[in-house]
Amino acid sequence: MGIAWRESPEELVGLLRQHGLTPDRVDNVETAWMGFREFLAQPVDGLEPGPDSDADGFIIQWGRYSWHDRLPSLSFTRQFAVDARESWTETDWYQPEIWQVSLTLVFPDAPALADLDKLNVQDTGFDFSPPGPERNHATGEAEAEVQHHPTL
């Protein structure tokens, strides 16, 4: 049994606190990543059913975006396709609801981050491996991708 999808933001906040971080003022990327990896490892209930479903995935993104005043940022995001059949009113078709739980770190401008928006990639791509050994492998691959870029 996993955590309820609606409780997943609080779960991430709790994990960050367990690692000594204040969720609205994270100051250590490596520690934040450790907490987020623990969050990714937890199964979540209430998602779209099916063994081949893209109901639970994650992505790491980086860059300079207007919504962060073009400051360097790094986001850890877990995305859910939530089973919304109980509240779905359309009778001809059904679509699960997409929800995301993100931890976004925004950094002051610094010379070491000057080329962040010039990297040939801006994210790791979504991975929908299920929690367990496959997800552990996928998070290791994502971490290696981030570490591959000296700017990051």
Residue 103 and residue 51: Cα distance in Å, rounded?
A: 27
Residue 72 and residue 64: Cα distance in Å, rounded?
A: 5
Q: Is residue 21 part of a domain?
A: yes
Q: Is residue 83 part of a domain?
A: yes
Q: Is residue 80 part of a domain?
A: yes
Q: Is residue 152 part of a domain?
A: no
**What six digits make up the tokens of 7?**
């409780």
Q: Per-residue pLDDT tens for 9-67? A: 999 999 999 999 998 899 899 999 999 999 999 999 989 877 667 899 999 999 999 99
The tally of domains found in the chain comes to 1
Handedness of CA 102, 108, 111, 115 (dihedral sign): positive
Print the domain residue range for 73: 3-147
